Amino acid sequence: MSGGGLLVAGTTSDAGKSVVTAGICRWLVRRGVKVAPFKAQNMSLNSFVTREGAEIGRAQAMQAQACRVEPTALMNPVLLKPGGEQSSQVVLLGKPVGELSARGYHGGRQQKLLGTVLDCLAELRGTYDAVICEGAGSPAEINLRRTDIVNMGIARNAGLPVLVVGDIDRGGVFASFFGTVALLSPEDQALVAGFLVNKFRGDVSLLEPGLDMLHGLTGRSTYGVLPFRHGLGIDEEDGLRVSLRGTVRESAVNPPVGEDVLRVAVCAIPLMSNFTDVDALAAEPGVVVRFVDRPEELADADLVVIPGTRGTVRALEWLRERGLADALVRRAAEGRPILGICGGFQILGEHIEDEVESRQGHVEGLGVLPVRVRFAREKTLTRPVGEALGEHVEGYEIHHGVADVSGGETFLDGCRVGQTWGTHWHGSLESDGFRRAFLREVAAAAGRRFVPAPDTSFAALREEQLDRLGDLIEQHADTDALWRLIESGAPQGLPFIPPGAPA
């Protein structure tokens, strides 16, 4: 017998689908339900490598952690990694299968993947008591409905009830809820069970008349009103939306343990991927992380991070155009700390041979590290374990570039020259002992009286955030009604709201 299921859709992108899905997962697992997350198709530059060597979206890896299960490729069978305005790499069941334009993907390839997606969902539902699915964008994108495999397309084929999440902090949530339903076909509308209000500030009693009117207009209930909470935006899908002036997280900053703070500048390169690598730095008391795009912003930084990217050559060109490349070379010569991760590591090398990603052939790097990079068609997807600075380190690798290191000190399968460090390992800074040892080196080189907190556990902080998401659902949603949806499906006899989907 198949397990229960639910599709968490949204009125818009960034309505809060990912965190609501994670919250529902954590609430369910705490009540003893064996639960798994699922997202049929994810478009993201933030990805993760499972233990079997499959690449999936980081949001689904985070949701698997909320479920207290190991993430697998079944949980995100299709991953699209943008390579520019017009095309994306298609990752199917954890392995890249080619590049496609948006027109080519939506023009036929996407619908052909529906069978694979449904098979993955069926396998999960056969294994777990419940599968909580996350939609993408809005289910009412009428231009894409015919080929949809992630919103109402999968809900219809798998018989999933749909909960629509709306971000009230943006305004217009009632119109968005009503309009979302009214633009769906009668068959799709029959599965839309109701709504969940996200990011509400204020007195809920002032909202209740509107919720009653919404019920009168649509015949559908609101399953909860989640209050606005800072610091819950964990592992977002899209690094392209990161504010260049913003901090990494909105959570409260603890005072430094030592006398000084440590300033970290992250170069906001194009197609930035896995920017979540710096979350572990931002979690350290006294470490201030910001994204920068001008050379003068590197001047007061104690550490500069060049993160991963889906366009290494394009990012290199961008650094040169902005004057950041010269600033980085000067910084390296002065012995001031730089950390390059994945694409950032490749940029710091001597040259790049790329006939795969940019197809520009031979490209000169910054020449800071004794490394030559050749892009291979086969993608490296591994979960390495090692040691650096006398500490145990774990990470994951996602890259086409193969690095030939010809000098320097060995550093996480990359190298170090002076205070310039380079590695293909994502996630290494989540290893607490290594992160503290690395920050002590950076502080000494920068002349800062910064002391890493002795007890910061990144894994514990992540668990704390996931529990906070579970608490939001448990305390502010109608959990009995939610469980009935998951177990029994959408209520019968939900009214049709005209005009419905266009013919």
Q: Annotated catalytic sites, by residue?
A: 342, 426
Give the β-pairing of 162-167 and 130-134. Answer: unpaired
Cα angle value 473/477/482 (rounded, 5°): 95
| Element at 208 (helix H, strand E) | helix 204-218
Check if the beta carbon of residue 395 is closer than 8 Å to that of residue 345: no
Q: Which amino acid is at 134?
A: E
Give the β-pairing of 414-417 and 409-411. Answer: antiparallel
Check if the beta carbon of residue 270 is closer than 8 Å to that of residue 84: no
Tokens of 217: 């207009």
Which candidate, 200, 28, 212, places its Cα nearest to that of 130? 28
- DSSP code, position 396: B
Tokens of 53: 């060597």
Tell me the C-alpha distance between 389 and 392, whole Å. 9
SS3 324: helix
Tell me the C-alpha distance between 362 and 373, whole Å. 10
SS3 403: strand
Tell me the C-alpha distance between 469 and 471, whole Å. 5
Tell me the C-alpha distance between 307 and 194, whole Å. 40
Please state the φ and ψ torsions of residue 364, each to the nearest 5 degrees.
-75, 135
Tell me the C-alpha distance between 245 and 137, whole Å. 25
SS3 365: coil
